[in-house]
């Protein structure tokens, strides 16, 4: 998949519907003094924080035989972009950290050490 395949009006509206209850929860928690982090998925065209997969040729089902290979671009995934826009639009404090995990790495080894260190750093349970 590519960012272009997710970057549609309907997917953005779908993302907003999914995120609305979580934004309300974050709003309540922040009002009560809590801070939060956001964890995305490395390279995901939907959930990446910093670098996503792009292919201008792909829309709908990719025709690999007709398109160049996808590339990585500096951009959040579409779902993550919607989340961060909703946070800003509500005037909520930005997350303390924006982290990314790799599906394959987590499946093979569990959460990476750097993610665990950040989670431990901000954990209210010591």
pLDDT in tens, 80-123: 999 999 999 999 999 999 999 887 888 788 888 888 888 888 87
DSSP, residue by residue, 69-86? PPEEEES--HHHHHHHHH
Please give the Cα distance from 5 to 60 (Å, whole number): 6
Q: Are 87 and 95 in contact (CB under 8 A)?
A: yes
The pTM of the full predicted model, rounded to 2 decimals, is: 0.84
Residue 61 confidence (pLDDT): 65
Question: Who contacts 122 (Cβ-Cβ below 8 Å, separation ≥6)?
Answer: 35, 37, 96, 97
Q: What is the signed CA dihedral for 55, 51, 102, 35, rounded to 10 degrees? A: -140
Residue 75 confidence (pLDDT): 93
> b/e for 19-29, b at 16 or more Cβ within 10 A?
beeebeebeee
Residue 114 confidence (pLDDT): 84
Residue 50 confidence (pLDDT): 93
Please give the Cα distance from 124 to 61 (Å, whole number): 45
pLDDT in tens, 25-67: 999 999 999 999 999 999 999 999 999 999 888 766 666 667 7
């Amino acid at each position: 998949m590519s960012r272009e395949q997710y970057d549609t009006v309907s997917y953005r509206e779908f993302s907003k519907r999914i995120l609305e209850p979580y934004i309300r929860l974050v709003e309540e928690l922040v009002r009560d003094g809590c801070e939060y982090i956001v964890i995305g998925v490395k390279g995901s065209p939907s959930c990446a924080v910093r670098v996503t997969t792009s292919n201008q040729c792909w829309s709908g089902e990719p025709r690999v035989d007709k398109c160049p290979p996808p590339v990585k671009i500096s951009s959040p995934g579409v779902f993550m972009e919607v989340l961060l826009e909703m946070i800003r639009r509500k005037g909520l404090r930005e997350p303390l950290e924006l982290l990314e995990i790799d599906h394959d790495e987590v499946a093979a080894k569990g959460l990476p050490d750097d993610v665990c260190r950040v989670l431990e750093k901000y954990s209210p349970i010591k």
